[in-house]
Amino acid sequence: MVHYDVLVVGGGAAGFFTAINLANFNPELKIAILERGKTVLSKVKISGGGRCNVTHAEFIPKDLTRNYPRGEKELLGPFHHFMTGDTIGWFAERGVE
């Protein structure tokens, strides 16, 4: 039987991003993604009709929150930890300009 340290439920964008970052920061962890569907990342594949909008061109947390009317307050804190520049950098590190 295989033992895992972390099980991520859901093989969508959030699940993969979480699993990849967990593995980067904690290479010793054994991580598995559990997906109930037949394929993973199926919504990512249809996002933007194959030309997915990855982020907004906003680099100030308060300005970026205004794009999320239902989460303006809640997102201000997280955007001080991970912002547009981090998103661009994250993809660039993986060869996606």
Ligand X SMILES: Cc1cc2nc3c(=O)[nH]c(=O)nc-3n(C[C@H](O)[C@H](O)[C@H](O)COP(=O)(O)OP(=O)(O)OC[C@H]3O[C@@H](n4cnc5c(N)ncnc54)[C@H](O)[C@@H]3O)c2cc1C
Residue ranges in contact with ligand X by CB under 6 A: 9-15, 34-37, 43-44, 46-48, 52-53
- 15: helix, strand or coil: helix
Of 51 and 73, nearer to ligand X (C-beta) is 51
User: Residue 10 CB, nearest distance to ligand X (Å)?
Assistant: 3
| CB distance 16 to 41 below 8 Å | yes
- Residue whose CB is nearest to ligand X in the complex, by number: 12
Of 17 and 28, nearer to ligand X (C-beta) is 17
Whole-number Å distance between alpha carbons of 76 and 72: 7
Of 26 and 87, nearer to ligand X (C-beta) is 87
Distance of CA 2 to the CA centre of its chain: 26
User: Residue 76 CB, nearest distance to ligand X (Å)?
Assistant: 19
Question: Amino acid letter at 21?
Answer: N
User: Residue 77 CB, nearest distance to ligand X (Å)?
Assistant: 19
